[in-house]
Every structure is written in C-alpha cells, then in structure tokens.
Amino acid sequence: MAEEQGPEVPSAPPTKVPTAFGFKGTLAPNGSETVTFHGDHDVLLSGMSGRADGPAIVETQITDTPPAGTPVVSIPGGTFTEYLKREFPTHLAAAAGEELAQWTEKNRVLTDAARAGDDEAFFELLARDPRELASELTLGRVVTWRTEIEDYNRYFRFRASRLIAPSAAVADAEHRMEEARKKLGQLGASQLRLYDQRGKRPLPPPHIARGCYYGLLCLLQGLRAMYSERQHAGIRPRQLESEVLEFLGGLASLQGASPFLPYVRLAIALMRDRGILTHAGLGDLTLVELVGTRGATPSDTARVIAATALEVSEDTIERLAAQPAPLPLPPRGDRQRWIIGPPTFKLLDFPEVQALLARLTR
C-alpha cells in the first residue's frame, strides 16, 4: 500500500547579506601559498580586493576535496541575529563611505532627531541602517500613520460627515490622512535612497579603469624603451618609425604565458582607435610622438587615453587605478585567475616580447 504524503511545505526564500573574508600572508619572490576557505552558509563570490607590494597572481577553485594540509580560514558564520549585530554595521558604513565610528555617531544624531519628531531624519536613518525597520521607533510611526488613515476612512470620508463634524475637523483629518499615506510611501522608498543613481554619472568599474591605465602604461613605457635603445644604436628616424610600427603590430597578436599580455593587447586597441585619440587631442601625433618623445611622460599619456576611452576625468582614472581591485585573467581549466597588487610589469621583460623583438631587429 502506498504511503500517503502530506502537502509539501514550501521553503522560505533565502536571505542574502553581504559578508567579507580573507587572509594575510607573506610570500618570497616567486613563492606561492594555498589557503582553503570554509563556511557553513552558501557563498556567492561577487567581489574581490587584494593588496600586495608587487604584482601577484591569485587563483580560486571550488572543490569538495581541498589539498591536504592547507590552512583553513573560516568564513564568518553564526545566526542571522548575530550577523546583524556583529558584522552588518561594517558593510553599511562602507556603503555610506564612512568609518564605522563616524557612521555610528551620525546614526545616533539622526535617531535623536527622529525621536523628537523629525521625519526626514527618520527616513535618512532608515536608509542608512535597515535594522531600524524592526525598532520600536519605526513601529510607532507605522502604527500612527495607519491609524490616521483608518480614522479618516471610518469617520470622515463619507460626504455626510460634514453634517456631524466641523468642516475644520474634516479638513484636518483629511490632511493627516494624506500625510500618513505619503509617509508610508516614503518608508519603502527609504530603502532605495542609497542606490538612487538619478543625476549621478556612472563610473566604470575600478578593474576596467585599472586594466586600461596600467595596460597603456606598460605598453607606452615599453615602446619608449625600445625606441631609445634603437635610437642609441644609430637607427635612422624613418627606419626607427617603421620598426616601432612593426613591433606594435607584432604585439597586437602576441600570445604567451605572461599574464599581463591581454591588457597589453587592450592598450594597443585603444591606441589604434583614431576616435579616442582625436577626442584626447592626440589624433595628429605620429606613433613615435605618441609614445613619449614629445615631452609627455608615459603615465600622462596613459591617463589621457584611458580617461577619454572611459569618458571620465583624468583625476577619476588616477583614483580608480589606485583601488585594490584585482584584474581578471582568462581562466585556467576550472580555476579563475586575477592579478592583485600594482601591475607594474615591464613590457620588455616578457619572454614573448623579447623573442618578438629579437626577430624584428636581427
């Protein structure tokens, strides 16, 4: 006989919250270290930052069998209530662009103002800290607004109410009802304040700005070094211009194991885009002039071209390029790879570039 099954109980939708985890380590030049992260909850990796004294490669792999003997770093866990108290404020402060102490103090000032009846302070507090949605302060406001609406609908909404209540009382009740409706609408809208981008120009992700800038810097420094070496070797200007052009063409399709080559190829595409160069005020320059012989440094030229390509200011490029955003690399099998640290690679040190240069100049 088949066993009867009761109705299936639907599972609650998952709660998604931001968290952060990582580790610090010391590596010798060309050294490596493997670390395993383990957590009690499902984790979706949505962002990464990494600081290092020099360029380094980070690889990540999801596996059920981590290598034996590797150090294990626990991903923050605990109950949701513990998370809200211990970890969530740090993420909220970072989202507001403030230090935790500064964020906490500003919230205290807003709380005092909200308790004194300042609704704008109340909604700003909710935008900064959604935990206040569960506070007695918020519940008191919501119940009050709902009561204002309920009272108007029960006693003053029908036309005959003018016969049994003074017109001033009806008008006052209607005004308080409309205000309550607006406030309840603002209650939900408060959770979108932090993410409202109206009137704000979107910025490119930091890793894109860093990739463009450092790729251009590496390329321009390498081209200038190659030009100087050939110039000191007594190569005539016209032949030298031809060699630089041929070298750039070879770099555009160069493949190899050096991790930064994809960003060198990106830089070449930007330097070959006449529209970008024209908008940057560099459209009339020859390639030799562009690589730096006109007096501008490679970093100046890289900043100008990157800013034009991404439609932001040079100051913005400088600021984004300084952030610790890893540069993504093509995956290797089931491993994702990134470059962390300042990607101050030297183009002429890449074995593939040295071989190309040897072929072109022999």
Q: Are residues 251 and 171 in the same domain?
A: no
Q: pLDDT for 271-288, tens place per residue?
A: 999 999 999 999 888 888
* Confidence band of 136 (pLDDT split at 50, 70, 90): very high
Q: Are residues 212 and 356 in the same domain?
A: yes
Helices 261-271, 237-252: axis angle to 10 degrees equals 120
Q: Are residues 123 and 228 in the same domain?
A: no
Q: Are residues 179 and 248 in the same domain?
A: no
Q: Are residues 211 and 343 in the same domain?
A: yes
Q: pLDDT for 45-63, tens place per residue?
A: 777 788 888 888 888 888 8
| Residue finishing a domain among 195, 215, 242 | 195
Q: How many CB atoms lie within 10 A of CB 109?
A: 11
Q: pLDDT for 168-177, tens place per residue?
A: 777 888 888 8
Number of domains in the chain: 2
57 phi/psi in degrees, rounded to 5: -105, 130
Q: Are residues 129 and 188 in the same domain?
A: yes
Give the pLDDT score at 9. Answer: 62
Q: Are residues 218 and 181 in the same domain?
A: no
For residue 47, being part of any structural domain is answered with no
**N-terminal to C-terminal alpha carbon distance within the chain:** 87
Who has greater pLDDT, 15 or 116? 116
Q: Are residues 307 and 228 in the same domain?
A: yes
Can you tell me which residue has the tokens 């609908």?
153
Domain of residue 264 covers 206-361
Gyration radius from the chain CA atoms: 30
For residue 45, being part of any structural domain is answered with no
User: With contact defined as beta carbons under 8 Å apart, do 227 and 203 qualify?
Assistant: no
Q: Are residues 284 and 322 in the same domain?
A: yes
Q: Are residues 216 and 294 in the same domain?
A: yes
Q: What is the pTM of this model?
A: 0.77
| Residue finishing a domain among 144, 163, 195 | 195
For residue 25, being part of any structural domain is answered with no
| Residue finishing a domain among 140, 162, 195 | 195
For residue 200, being part of any structural domain is answered with no
